[in-house]
Structure 1
């Protein structure tokens, strides 16, 4: 087993060219993204983009449990500040800046780039998947943006892709961290095709036989393979609840929305879990979710990542993120001591602070060149 953060291989094609294969190589941590993985993947993608022998890129995770379960939040915890403290170093900003650069790069990549989104795809994994031109999901796919549980917000471009979902689905998923499957991902616009996990190698053989390597042609070539499995998709979770989601998320009064979601008294397991996750979540996160989605509606993709970097550095700086990760993953007591402690105590100034640039005033934004 290689100890490289990302394994790079090649698949031959029928036309004599090559497909570059990149495999996130941290199976034990469910391929959680660390800085070494981000840097290695970004550099290799650049090299492949300018390599005439490489006609497409396939991105996957090691093992069958996860494509990518998110960012390495334990490492980020070390570079974050507790309530009332100053940041110990620049590591959080460095991580988020490089992660967002990679995510943005996937959105504008000039060659066909296919992500095999099987297993767990959450947080940072969603950033990689949603940035790709071709996004494939399987019966084992489990997606979520669960940042409500750790005092963060749905980043990695979440402002962009959650704000472009049907009805109020993006807001609901951001507020509750609710998990969803492959069928839901297709409905929400986060995936393009469904393939059973056991058909992966048949799919790769189909891909290598492509007659044209133009992005649109590869897209259609892969979807023609996916179409034969349309009856095997898992049962939808989001679309059947769309009317309920739109009702509870109606209007701009966030406290009323939170009350409507957490007050669910029915027997639906998915809605019950969503309500409980929100009720236990970081009090400031719902306000950030509402703000980021509203602002993103009028922003370009690059502007979204610039906004999210400001929010992410402030999340690391203001204490909520450190406390959330401590309670969930470090001490594992699951008893975060949030400040403020309740949704009702969150004030406008608490949220405003997340959107004020924390960078030196004489310096350009770190992502100004996107």
Structure 2
């Protein structure tokens, strides 16, 4: 079974992530297939525009297949725990190459962000030129709960959000719906899922005359007019989020979060993820986003590859996946166990370069072939 299905209709290259059982989670094989198709269609005269979707109605993509990464880490630990498992390196480096390819793609890329879109799914969606959410879209970057951090370009897109939404979402894994995504700049169009047939039909009859981005935009503008975007919970909480703009340390962030007097369900859900998530993750997320405020897209993926590989040789990532997905006891034993236990040296160790600058595996991102 192919993990990526493709067809071309009226110069529209349709890509379907095809692993419905796993909510279209990204495996290394799926990433490699997707990369090959995108590279092939980049210069093909047969394709004017790309439409990317997930199989089934439940998800575009629920993230990376972290269970496989967990197994690779455990196997590597029995040989030499100081070395990054090859499978993890291959997964992250190729995933980020695909994400970067979508960010810089010369043709319009429409992503149908329906259902669950998390972690690696957001990585695929966020760089597209035309990003669609529906009434059933559910987005999040909940990596703090598994000892990881918001990668796949999170350093870039979380820092592009208004106010302190980026740091808040990174540290709490807060869930977003379609209206939230429009407000925060993660999506361009809010369209009813019942309009998908009409959208594909319009693309099927489009005249591709060279200004293809404009053609796609006109079609999506027209169809999105039929749906009213509901109120965004994230936007409603703007005054709450604005308090974090001055938080210049993780301790300050935590204090504002815990001291807020008027806690509702949206805020309490965020507090729970922050409090039960990996303390190491909290520290590295805060530093990642503060240091990455003015970094180029290329440097973002280069630094994230280093950080992700470091997570594979630090204890919390494998432990977080074990607790959530392997043993499912939901009781991770974080090391160190609490926020105050974490030293600057420990956080520094996550950011220690694994490669010299000129040897970085992604050093050629953005350079002409």
Q: In structure 2, how many angstroms separate the alpha carbons of the residues matched to 1:111 and 1:287?
A: 38
Looking at structure 2, the residues matched to 317 and 296 of structure 1 have their Cα atoms a distance apart, in angstroms, of 22
Partner of 1:214: 211
Q: Deviations over 1:244-287 (max 9, x none)?
A: 01214532121121233245554511111111111100001122
Q: Which residue in 2 is equivalent to 1:365?
A: 360
**Aligned 1:35-46 pairs, distance under 5 A:** 35-46=28-39
Mapping 1:82-231, distance limit 5 Å: 85-87=81-83, 89-211=85-207, 212-231=209-228
For 2:55, the equivalent position in structure 1 comes to: 62
1:15 match: none
Residue 24 (str. 1) matches residue 24 (str. 2): no
| CA deviation after TM superposition for structure 1 residue 298, in Å | 1.8
Matching of residues 74-89 of structure 1 within 5 Å: 74-80=67-73, 85-87=81-83, 89=85
Which one is further off, 252-261 or 36-45? 252-261
**Residue ranges of structure 2 left out of the alignment (5+ in a row):** none
Greater displacement, 330-339 / 219-228 = 219-228
Q: In the TM superposition, what is the alpha-carbon distance from 1:90 to its structure 2 partner?
A: 1.2
What is the CA RMSD across the aligned residues, in angstroms? 1.8
Query: Which whole-Å CA distance do the structure 2 matches of 1:226 and 1:192 have between them?
Result: 12
Instruction: Using the TM superposition, give the Cα deviation of residue 131 of structure 1 relative to its aligned residue in structure 2, in angstroms.
Output: 1.2
> SS in structure 2 opposite 1:284?
helix
SS at 2:187 equivalent: coil
Aligned pairs for 1:314-329 within 5 A: 314-329=310-325
- Higher mean displacement: 259-268 or 338-347: 259-268
CA drift at 1:312: 0.2
Specify the SS of the correspondent of 1:67: strand
Q: Is the 8 A contact 1:57 1:112 kept in 2?
A: yes
Shift of 1:362: 9.2
SS at match of 1:80: helix
Q: Is the 8 A contact 1:135 1:191 kept in 2?
A: yes
How far residue 9 of structure 1 moved from its aligned partner, in angstroms, is 1.2
Structure 1: runs of 5+ lacking an equivalent: 13-17
- 1:203 is paired with a residue of what secondary structure? helix
Residues of 1 paired with 2:263 and 2:155: CA distance?
Answer: 31
Of 235-244 and 145-154, more deviation after overlay is shown by 235-244
Please give the per-residue CA displacement for 1:14-59, whole angstroms capped at 9, x wherever unaligned. Answer: xxxx211100001011000001110111101111112102111100
What is the distance in 2 between the residues matched to 1:263 and 1:23?
A: 45
Q: Partners in 2 of 1:362 and 1:119 — Cα distance?
A: 39
Return the alpha-carbon distance in structure 2 between the equivalents of residues 205 and 181 of structure 1. Answer: 26
Greater shift, 280-289 or 67-76, is seen at 280-289
Normalised by the size of structure 2, how large is the TM-score?
0.93
Establish whether residue 285 from structure 1 lines up as the match of residue 281 from structure 2.
Answer: yes
- TM-score by length of structure 1 reads 0.93
* Contact 1:66-1:120 within 8 A present in 2 as well: yes
Identify the residue that residue 9 of structure 1 maps to in structure 2: 7
CA contact (8 A) 1:263 1:275 kept: no
